[in-house]
Amino acid sequence: MKWFFNELKTIYKIDILRFRSKLFLFLFNIVPEFYVLKIFKNLLLKLSGVNLSLLFVYIKNGLYFDNAKSLYLGKGIFINRNVSFEGLGNVFIGDSVQIGPNVQFLTTNHKDRTKDEVADIKIGNNVWIGAGYIILPGSEISGNVNIAAGSIVKGKILDGNLWAGSPAVKKR
């Protein structure tokens, strides 16, 4: 019986953290997108558990994440509307990254009905990601890379060029 109550305590702690995270995310998304409110909105994200700088990050409404503590944002980042960070893996985003609207960072993949594959996503510095981009678990993008709109990336992109397509291939 003691084991059962210990399990309940663990579940309760996880639920409290998840509730706090979702509450501050909800508040972030209902605050208007005025530039003067940027620091307040970033504070709401920080309170939810996201690792970010209060001054050098600008994120528009429509943000979604499963796990705030697994999101690490560098300085000088712009994230457009309706960007989602889904899954249980970590997402590391470097400095001076621009992310277009409707981009999905997926860190969990369902290999079969009984087991999930969880892998981190890493984005380097000075990366531009176009609208509608999808990045799959385990992907890594080095610095000075442009990803065209509508691309899908799985794996490593290691040089500073333009990548486009599904799957993304080097264009120039």
Task: For residues 94-105, give the mean pLDDT.
Answer: 96
110 is catalytic: yes
Of the pLDDT bands very low, low, confident and very high (cuts 50, 70, 90), residue 54 is confident
Total of domains in the chain: 1
Mode of pairing for the β-strands spanning 64-65 and 84-86 = parallel
Q: Which of 1, 3, 5, 110 is catalytic?
A: 110
Range of the domain at 7: 1-170
> What pLDDT score does 76 carry?
94
Task: For residues 147-171, give the mean pLDDT.
Answer: 86
CB 119 within 8 A of CB 99: no
> What pLDDT score does 110 carry?
79
| 3 pLDDT more than 80 | no
Mean pLDDT, the chain, rounded, equals: 88
- pTM for the model stands at 0.87
* Residue 22, domain CATH: 2.160.10.10
DSSP E strands in 67-111: the ranges are: 71-73, 77-79, 84-86, 91-93, 98-99, 104-106, 108-110
Joined tokens for residue 68: 């705030």
